Chains A and B, each alone.
Chain A
């Protein structure tokens, strides 16, 4: 096995990352046999990730692919008789059944679903089931899962969410501690920010935008800390 690229190198789809057998593939790459030799080729724009015996690409662009267990922020796009359809910013629409929202019996003759969740409502929910043959199934029964009623909703690139959260949540903790804002992050690239003043909210949002733009660079947490310290002085 020979690896032809460096760690954290920027690559584009089609670039050969490694040759030979014995290499595991992580995400963002595919294997192809060319002239009897196996090549590992990037399939997305991103940064090369090299582990002990695997090569992969951490994508810098991409849509949200649902994963079971993900906490997401969704928007109700259709209210049915016994279920809702939720926009989760992915290729598929999430299904939310009434028994995964209310832990009591629901009588569709006496009450309507709009009274529980109406069209356009923003919710924090969890994906319980998804296998690409059927639409993702959501639940709102769980700790912290609820309808979100206040704050500012922003959309970010879903692939940048791990960077916004940071290693073991370091980046998001930094943002919360330095601005005293409440930040709810959905894995699907939606973030709800609420703080005690509009200026603080603007500061958090501009910091998130900065993280999004510079996600592929190193030393980001330190730069964001400096940025927040500087901007906090101005407030």
Chain B
């Protein structure tokens, strides 16, 4: 790589998009956006745009995949053809299979699958616009959609990546930082219990950097978790507020 790695930080120490080192990008989340799905979520995380739909628990076809003691989770993570700089072929690539698998394994650990033997829970994630950190954003969106579908779970999975840019640990990498930085470390966890459900590491880190990165990630996940909780409840609190307003008008 010929690019100077220090060019990923501005002279005043901030990052290329003007963020502080430990600042996450602006996030919006909305649940129940799709009528046909049992649960759904639309999430924007910086320039990432992700839509997620959940179906189930429902009957599993083909039947030979069914587990007699629990349901299975099937995750389909897809990048839209227009989500990246050059048109992506609509056929799933290695990266998409890999991400589907690790999102599935991460969600597996928080769902009470034994309640639905022989069944399946299908999670479809489409990345409409990708700008780094889509696996963490997709996991965050998938948990909201699963809760929206009323599937019993131990808690939300919340994700956030950390990484190393210009020898400094930064939170929530953008696409440029991810590609040209020195390493990235996506982390996802059940924030309530503190159980880590996803931890990957790509690049070179010292032991201290891994420790620092993990604690930065946990702090960022805490922030995202609060937004996640508000997004799930927003649907109900809005109705409550509108009823309260009506009552006040009548009085």
Show the binding face of A for B, using Cβ within 8 Å.
10, 12-16, 28, 30, 32, 34, 41, 43-45, 59-63, 91-93, 132-133, 159, 213-214, 216-217, 223
Are B232 and A213 in contact, CB atoms less than 8 angstroms apart?
A: no
Which residue on chain A has the smallest CB distance to residue B191?
A: A14
Binding-face segment, B22-30, B90-98, B145-153, B180-188:
B145-153
Q: Does B118 contact A (CB under 8 A)?
A: yes
Question: Which of B38, B148, B155, B236 meets A41, CB within 8 Å?
Answer: B155
Binds A, one of B3-11, B56-64, B165-173: B56-64
Docked complex Cα distance between A12 and B147 (Å) = 8
Q: Which residues of B contact A132 (CB under 8 A)?
A: 117
Does the CB pair B193–A32 fall under 8 Å?
A: yes
Stretch of B124-132, B133-141, B205-213, B237-245 contacting A (4+ beta carbons < 8 Å): B237-245
| Nearest 8 A/B pairs, CB to CB | A14-B155, A62-B150, A61-B150, A14-B192, A91-B57, A43-B152, A91-B119, A13-B153
Q: Which residues does chain A contribute within 8 Å of B156, judged by CB atoms?
A: 12-14
Q: What is the bound-complex CA distance between A116 and B232, given in angstroms?
A: 46
Footprint of A on B, CB under 8 Å? 38-39, 56-59, 68, 71, 112, 116-119, 147-156, 190-193, 229, 232-233, 236-237, 239-240, 243
Chain B residues whose CB sits within 8 angstroms of the CB of A12 once the complex forms: 147, 156, 229, 232-233
Distance between B229 CB and nearest chain A CB, rounded to angstroms? 5
Per the bound structure, the CA–CA distance linking A143 and B25 in Å amounts to 61
Are the CB atoms of B56 and A45 closer together than 8 Å?
no
* Contacting residues, chain A, for B237 (C-beta < 8 A): 10
Q: Is the CB of A13 within 8 A of B236?
A: no
Q: How far is the CB of A90 from chain B (nearest CB, A)?
A: 8
